[in-house]
Amino acid sequence: MSGGSDVVVIGGGLVASALAYGLTRDGCSVTVLDEGDVAYRASRGNFGLVWVQSKGDGLPGYARWTRLSADLWPDFSADLLSETGVETNYHKAGGLHLCLSEEAMESHAALIHRMHNVHGAADYGAKLLDRADLEALAPGLGPDVIGGSWSPHDGHASPLYLLRALHAGLEARGGVYRPKSRVKAIVPLASGFRVETDRGEVHGDKVVLAAGLGNRVLGPMVGLDIPVWPLKGQILVTERTGPRLSLPTTFVRQTEEGSFLLGDSHEHAGFDTTSRAGIMADIAARAIRTFPYLKDLRVVRSWAALRVMTDDGFPIYDQSETYPGAFTVNCHSGVTLAGAHAMALAPMIARGRFDEEMSMFSVRRFHVQAH
Ligand SMILES: Cc1cc2nc3c(=O)[nH]c(=O)nc-3n(C[C@H](O)[C@H](O)[C@H](O)COP(=O)(O)OP(=O)(O)OC[C@H]3O[C@@H](n4cnc5c(N)ncnc54)[C@H](O)[C@@H]3O)c2cc1C
């Protein structure tokens, strides 16, 4: 067996990388084991929002956790830049949710009112906007946009630069990233864990299962139930153009380089990652309805990727009761939560247990008996 570490992190996407980087900040020696290019990789196919305003309806603790992450993001991103020279292109200009029908506006207004109650009016910061307010923030709106909301805590970043920065930060702090290392087995030992891959074995005092959809299979090896499932999303990318949209919306945003990203489709398609023309047409049509100037831009790329979902949409964070020292971290907002994962959750894993407030994210919430 080679390469003993304080912590072996399984996965190599945004969740695993943020935790691994955070663990090295906490003084742990870390080895990251990542599968290959055939794996499902949400982290390389997402939209790049750091989003707060709609998160936590039904679970106030999740609203607070998301907000904490957004509050940590500026320092997190600045630290990554100073340690690695990689700019994540994080901007916290606020974010817009846009509504294109009376019905959508009504249901969104109800959500914003509920979220006010969740956060407390003084803290929440988001507000409903009419068309004229929106037009001032995002000039060039189409006539169908009737209103929406804005939050100062929302922002966006380049997920690919974020991933690169996290890997560079991990390695700069002595962590080891091993690609093409699919984990086949995790064997609990009297002390620690033996993790077996296609390319040899590694020992860890602790092991963190952060392999996205791969966690479903890995969990039972250490007594963990991890019921995550795929939800497909497609994204279109336009050619680059001059700056037009200074803040992100939930389905159109302009990147630092000038491309527009168009997205936010949701499809139950199992593990199928093919792009479908009908969905692409719907995404493009809605984007043009919202910002008619987009009709003049060519689409240069598109892809589909699989979200890592749970039944209630909230994260699953757990430590195995059968094999303490085996942790798992899963979520569908790995960009948004990267700040909290690196700066708040990783230190808990380093200390050997999640703080009590994280118990709201335990999978035990799905095991409540019906009476
Ligand atoms: C279309 C789309 C849009 C999205 N938009 C946003 C957004 O705007 N904001 C936001 O916050 N989030 C967004 N997300 C979600 C975000 O991308 C995910 O929450 C995040 O990427 C999940 O990261 P992950 O590391 O858990 O999973 P993944 O990125 O899927 O990574 C899993 C990793 O585990 C590895 N792996 C799997 N099995 C094994 C094994 N047995 N051994 C070793 N390694 C293994 C794989 O190689 C892979 O690298 C979006 C997702 C999609 C699909």
Domain boundaries, the chain: 2-49+160-227+312-362, 229-309
86 Cα: distance to centroid of ligand 1 (angstroms): 20
25 Cα: distance to centroid of ligand 1 (angstroms): 22
- Reported confidence tier of residue 91, pLDDT bands at 50, 70, 90: very high
Nearest CA to 208 among 121, 298, 317?
317
pLDDT score at 368: 74
Cβ–ligand 1 contact at 147 (below 6 Å):
no
Atom nearest to 159 CA in ligand 1:
17
Please state, as a whole number, how many other Cβ atoms lie within 10 Å of the Cβ of residue 123: 12
pLDDT score at 39: 65
What backbone torsions phi and psi does residue 226 show, to the nearest 5 degrees?
-130, 85
Atom nearest to 181 CA in ligand 1:
43
> At the topology level of CATH, where does 229-309 sit?
D-Amino Acid Oxidase; Chain A, domain 2 (3.30.9)
Nearest CA to 211 among 364, 348, 20?
20
Q: Evaluate if residue 131 carries a pLDDT over 90.
A: yes
pLDDT score at 294: 98
pLDDT score at 212: 96
Cβ–ligand 1 contact at 212 (below 6 Å):
yes
Best residue among 38, 327, 332, 336 to mutate for probing ligand 1's pocket (most ligand atoms within 8 Å of CB) is 332
Point out which residues pair with 262 in neighbouring strands.
236, 252
* Per-residue exposure over 136-169, b if at least 16 CB sit within 10 Å of its own CB, e if not: ebbeebeeebbbbbbbbbbbbbbbebbbbbbbbb
pLDDT score at 136: 97
26 Cα: distance to centroid of ligand 1 (angstroms): 24
What are the tens digits of pLDDT across the range 9-49?
999 999 999 999 999 999 999 999 999 766 677 888 999 99
CB 108 within 8 A of CB 249: no
87 Cα: distance to centroid of ligand 1 (angstroms): 20
The average pLDDT across 358-365 equals 97
Cβ–ligand 1 contact at 232 (below 6 Å):
no
Is the CA virtual torsion 282, 287, 290, 294 positive or negative?
Answer: negative
User: Which strands sit side by side in the sheet containing 299-309, from one edge to the other?
Assistant: 252-254, 260-262, 229-238, 299-309
Nearest CA to 323 among 215, 200, 205?
205
What are the tens digits of pLDDT across the range 292-324?
999 999 999 999 999 999 999 999 999 999 999
Please state, as a whole number, how many other Cβ atoms lie within 10 Å of the Cβ of residue 304: 19
- Reported confidence tier of residue 123, pLDDT bands at 50, 70, 90: confident
135 Cα: distance to centroid of ligand 1 (angstroms): 34
Rounded Cα distance, 224 and 325, in Å: 12
Coil/strand/helix, residue 236 = strand
| Architecture of the domain defined by 2-49+160-227+312-362 | 3-Layer(bba) Sandwich (3.50)
Question: Residues, the chain, total?
Answer: 371
Cβ–ligand 1 contact at 315 (below 6 Å):
no
Nearest CA to 55 among 72, 46, 68?
68
pLDDT score at 370: 53
